[in-house]
Structure 1
Amino acid sequence: MPDTLATLPLSAIRVFEAAARLKSFTRAADELGMTQAAVSWQVKALERRLGQPLFRRLPREVAPTAAGERLARAATEAIGLLRTALADLTEADEGILSITTLQSLATQWLAPRLGAFQLAHPKIAVRLETAGRIVDLTREPFDLAIRSGDGDWPGLEAVYLYPANVTPLCAPALCEALGGLSHPGDLLSAPRVGLESDWAAWFAAAGVAAPGETAGTRLVADLQTIEVASALSGQAVALGSPVLYAAEIAQGRLVRPFEAAWDHGGGYWLAYPKERRRAAKIVAFREWLLGCIAADPVSEAYAATSPRASTRP
């Protein structure tokens, strides 16, 4: 008779989970620091004890059987819960909040406000990292992320913050030099920075039928902060977030000539592993962050008018 799950060795479950997730004994071996033969042996031993196959062996990979899929889901959840419990029991880990986010959002919005969070929670140190990739919060050593997208990330709970809208921004002197920019179509011949495809999307949102050939853009950068820096210097018009650059607009350093905005990414979200939603430091940061948005009239106004606002607790 097959053994019950209670009698199965945790090491075999760990090996099986990695092989099922990566669909490869070789990649599982690399991740776990084992040999491919050792992974294969552990899986075969597990299959013998359960009395049924867990994988279909294919030429270049392995594919879980129906039974393997069921066990893989349970194993991934169980290992995640164990990892969470161990992390929550580690005092040093609980004293450090690791955040990954976009550089533009970190520079323009989050970093200037983090001091207030640390004053309110002096026992929590913040480690902030900006990355040009989507960090896997279920596997990498980060507690939470603030990212743009649709909020649908497997294994994560996502709390909506505000839309990822962009709109033309420029220096007041350039706006005046361009005749005041009274109509969105005036930007067709204006010096611009940013991807031409993004501008085409904004022109469409503003109701302007852009011709095939326009004045073109002078600069394309991989960071919104670089493009808006060009706008701040008076060189060109850039597409930027009215939320991230609310201070510069309020100070008169940037002008927003038109209300029309283009949603280029669904929205900004706070995301963290579902099983960690009650971790004290995550709860503290979530409540503080939503409080910041509620206290910021620009952020709150955009969040409240979005159809996704109902996803906020």
Structure 2
Amino acid sequence: MTLDDLRVFAAVCRAGSLSAAARELSCTQSAVSQHVKRLEREVGLSLVERHPRGVVPTPAGRMLSAAVTEGLGGIDHALRRIEGAARADGGSVRVTTGATTIRHFMSAAVVDFRRRFPRASLEFETATSSRGCFDALAAGRVDLAWITLGPTDRAVEQRPVVEVPWALAVSASSPLAAKDRVEPADLQDARLIGLPQNSTSRLQLGAWLGEAGIRPVFDTSVTDWDTAILLAELGLGLAVVPALPAWSGADHPDLRLIPIPALPALSVGWSVRSWDALSPLARAFTDAVTDHWRRQTAGARIE
């Protein structure tokens, strides 16, 4: 069994078919099949079940796939650290996060980081959920994940950076726009614009409202906070969202972000495989983002 066998097998499990894995790896389907068969001969068990529309890992295959993903991720991470050390300030930092994170949390820090490390490579991988970010960390595709923090059974370390308060986003023409605060009871039976049900912020919001006995109706679904706020600004619904500073102030005269102080703030920050294993360049990037975000939010609170 070789590292190539294991990499190909991980790609097959990730892609769900031999042909898709072959396209991902730029090789033939026959070559992919040979790698999988060699592994099966080595372990003495079938690792995938072959179906007309693809393959599904067997119980043994799932066990091996999880171990391979974790192990190869550690190897790739170590190789990137070695490469970064050899290239001094010309290494790379790979980050996974949501689609709107750079705008709200990282824009100034990215500019400063680029000035400090002009030879460094910054790579961003967009994910739609914390689960996707954890998968990217486990596979070794990225060094850092910026996520909404919450309980997880993944082998990661999390560090909160900022607590973002919740607000109700409404159009300035809404009867609710005159309120100076919103209580959870005001959301009973409200029809809300919501993020996907598997997103961490949606799960936490639902849990908190549920503890208060509140059952709002989520009848519109979007993939990110910015879209939810935009729809609310256009008068197409209400959205319970984090109070993002970029949406406050004179630039959005048709929008009101009304505080919901009874809801616990949303914890946002970094998730990594291991802080001790981070390269100096990756640490410098986390410090830049953390410092800029804290300065940005220090004076930006909903009035």
Shorter-chain TM-score: what band? 0.5 to 0.7
Give the conservation status (yes or no) of the 8 Å contact 2:193–2:238.
yes
- Matching of residue 147 in structure 1 with residue 125 in structure 2: no
> CA, structure 1 residues 219+112, in 2 after alignment: closer, same or farther (shift >3 Å)?
farther
The unaligned stretches of length 5 or more in structure 2 are 50-57
Give the conservation status (yes or no) of the 8 Å contact 1:165–1:241.
yes
Structure 1 position 190, deviation (Å):
6.4
- Matching of residue 268 in structure 1 with residue 268 in structure 2: yes
Structure 1 position 285, deviation (Å):
0.7
Distance in structure 1 (CA, Å) of the matches to 2:261 and 2:269: 23
1:128 maps to 124
2:3 maps to 14
Larger Rg: 1
* Alignment size in residue pairs: 269
Distance in structure 2 (CA, Å) of the matches to 1:204 and 1:78: 39
> CA, structure 1 residues 232+110, in 2 after alignment: closer, same or farther (shift >3 Å)?
farther
1:258 maps to 260
1:223 maps to 224
Structure 1 position 122, deviation (Å):
3.2
Give the conservation status (yes or no) of the 8 Å contact 2:195–2:225.
no
Give the conservation status (yes or no) of the 8 Å contact 2:83–2:91.
no
Distance in structure 2 (CA, Å) of the matches to 1:41 and 1:193: 50
Deviations 1:212-252 (A, max 9, x none): xx7x667432222111113334554321102xx13434668
Give the conservation status (yes or no) of the 8 Å contact 1:143–1:282.
yes
Q: Could you tell me the percent identity over the aligned residues?
A: 15
For residue 103 of structure 1, give the secondary structure of its aligned residue in structure 2. Answer: coil
More strand by share: 2
For residue 167 of structure 2, give the secondary structure of its aligned residue in structure 1. Answer: strand
1:36 maps to 33
Give the conservation status (yes or no) of the 8 Å contact 1:175–1:255.
no
- Matching of residue 168 in structure 1 with residue 165 in structure 2: no
Distance in structure 2 (CA, Å) of the matches to 1:209 and 1:78: 44
| TM-score of the superposed pair, with normalisation by structure 1 | 0.61
1:248 maps to 247
1:278 maps to 278
Give the conservation status (yes or no) of the 8 Å contact 1:293–1:299.
no
For residue 150 of structure 1, give the secondary structure of its aligned residue in structure 2. Answer: coil
The 5 Å alignment of 1:34-113 reads: 34-41=31-38, 54-57=43-46, 60=49, 61=58, 63=60, 76=72, 79-80=75-76, 83-85=79-81, 87-88=83-84, 91=87, 94-113=90-109
Deviations 1:168-195 (A, max 9, x none): 2335553566666675434447674337
Give the conservation status (yes or no) of the 8 Å contact 1:106–1:130.
no
Structure 1 position 166, deviation (Å):
3.5
Deviations 1:108-128 (A, max 9, x none): 332354223323433334333
Aligned-partner residue type, residue 101 of structure 1: T
Kindly report the root-mean-square deviation, in angstroms, between the aligned alpha carbons of the 2 structures. Answer: 4.8
Give the conservation status (yes or no) of the 8 Å contact 1:196–1:217.
no
Distance in structure 2 (CA, Å) of the matches to 1:96 and 1:105: 19
| TM-score of the superposed pair, with normalisation by structure 2 | 0.62
The unaligned stretches of length 5 or more in structure 1 are 1-11, 48-53, 302-313
Aligned-partner residue type, residue 277 of structure 1: A
Distance in structure 1 (CA, Å) of the matches to 2:145 and 2:196: 29
Give the conservation status (yes or no) of the 8 Å contact 1:147–1:271.
yes
1:309 maps to none
Aligned-partner residue type, residue 148 of structure 1: T
Structure 1 position 101, deviation (Å):
1.2
Aligned-partner residue type, residue 60 of structure 2: A
Distance in structure 2 (CA, Å) of the matches to 1:300 and 1:55: 61
Query: Aligned to 1:117, which of 113, 118, 125?
Result: 113
